[in-house]
Structure 1
Amino acid sequence: MICPNCQENVLYKERPSYTCSKCRRTFALEPRANSLRLHDARFLRVAAKLTDNGRMKITESQFWFVLSRKTLNSVRGPRSGVPTAIGCLAFGLPVGAGLCFTGVAVGGGAYFLVVLGALLVLAAVGGAVGNVQDGRKRYDTLPLSPFREQAMARWKFAYGSLPPGIVDDATLRRTPRPERPRAALLCADLAVASFLAANDLPARYGVEISTTVQALPDGVPVVVLHDAGAIGSVQVLAARDALPGRRVVDAGLRPRVVMKAKGAVVPHGTAPSAADVRRLRAAGTLTAEELTWLADGWWSPLVGAPPVKLLNAVSTVLERVTGSADANDPDRRRAETLGFLTWPDAGTA
């Protein structure tokens, strides 16, 4: 590892207790002590790239998603793992056993059937084991809490503060609210809400950001930002029910955006209730393919979307809702050239 202080290459045995034996100075991250194999140089490099050297703010959770993207599940379906393993056994075992039995019963030159049947049985068992292992690998994700303990807390201990541009997930709670909001933004994910607040969206657009319907200001349009999942999609319908007569704009992450998007974080969770699926189908805003995808339990977290794309997309919606003349902002023009997820147009009630 290259020491971040003296830039010397130090072996593992030469850096005990997070201390370089050559310059005697401490560092924050030991690659062998964290599951992401992070070291100080990579931590700083990724942070600088994501935040444009501190000019844009991102939250700790967003930083974790970017660092963990390669190890997070990115499977979109059909579901693998145990169900597929059962399918392998259900087909391979009876067919293979039948071939073996036929070969033995016929005898003579039919023994090749025994060999073929045995190979099929072995293939079925091997396929089943492989699918179970693959399913476990796909469904496991690296936890966020250990990342905070192993990386973020260690960094603060070593350097006194996080790198420029990285803010904590509760920044929203310390952000002043506009006195006369022109619109409200409802986002149940505190990390995403804090990300938007840290990038001055409340001041730029006169928007009040809330994580619950009950905390929304009265008499202004509401923009709902949500995950690509059944729960997130239902949140829009629930907001419209709770705010009769108010303009409610669905600016959430749509399933069709992430179902096939390369690199999108798409874990498998608990299937939604039948009532929620019926409610989404009756709303008529999702395609049959999207409904099937959601009903099977697939989803994509909003906090896992590329930060610069997310900021640009929300800014675009708020400009439309509030009539803000901010389209020529240089930061926004730069943001439009980055990221890889295509964001959908927002629909209105």
Structure 2
Amino acid sequence: MLFSFRLKSISIITLFFIGIGATNAKEIDSKDLKNNSVDLCLSPQDVGLKKSSIYSKSLNFKDTYDAFPFVISYKGAIIGIYSSGVAHANSDKQVMFRSDDGGKTFKTVDFLINKNNSFNTSLLDNLLVDGDSINLKVWNIRKEKGMIKVTTINRVSVGSVIYSLWSRPVQSNNSLYRTGYGFNNKTSYVGLFESLDKGGTWKFKSMIAQSDNLSFTEADIVNVSESKWIAIVRENKGRLNPLYQVISSDNGITWSKPNLLDPAIVSGRQPNLVKLKNNTIILATGDRAGSSGYTNDGKLRLSSNTTGIKIFRSTDSGKTWSVGKRVSPIYSTDGGQPFLVDQGNNNLFITWYARQRQSSQPLILSCDLNIKSLDK
């Protein structure tokens, strides 16, 4: 069944709270916020924004664990999927969503039902034409001879290492590139993979990072210039959600030694990158260090040192990064995986997942953000 609905939104609000420190977190009941928003967070390190749920609560299973969104922009539409199931990393299905008005309203369908391995691509019927191909998570979706075909490509074996494909594919010239990560005994690997057939198949191109001591996993990439690429890589063993930056100056053939970014400036999990038309690079992460962004009963904790979705910016091709600003809180560490879509004119669409109180399951959330808000 296909649902269509209009999301509630709120106007961007001026930041009123000044001087609230990390050790003196103020709590505020969400009911006291304008338009009864359940998710607006304002603090000296936060950004004012419009925010809504991807789906209408009345149309969604209340007890499902909804998480891990993945989103692209295609022919002016925002297309994405998220996992829905009984628990973390235990999904029953994948839900597809589509917006044709920049994230104001959405349609959703159950894209994949795990138990019978059936796909519903009806949201793409009037979007894809013959020869079109898009990639959502591990599924390549293409239209040929009037029919939409879905192919699953979730892993690539390279010698004794099995890589899980992870990042959103990035196009450069006639190729698509994405990252994958794998392990062999105590060694962790992050590789760059290339597709010459719009995501139908993937082959190993180069090693971005590997370590016998560190645990490298999720990574995202951005094409800074014709031959320069930046990778931001998650590392699991270090304190404060460390991220490493790796650079290629020869179009992904070789990569620099991973460089630890200062956790006081840049940190988080599940990094997502986008380069704007003015060459500004935006990084979004799910930051799980610090105290909970929500209290047990769902009150917002206003502090710069709390868990939530954070945005970082570089205006010099990754040489330096701005101190992160929190877009939205999460309860404890249960949330993250932000995905960005550049909508032009300094506007970004962002989606992520977050639990908002101790007794609830995570939701899929989204917001519109003008990057000029990062200057506040």
TM-score by length of 2: 0.24
Q: Radius of gyration: which is bigger?
A: 1
TM-score by length of 1: 0.25
**Higher strand content, 1 or 2:** 2
**Higher helix content, 1 or 2:** 1
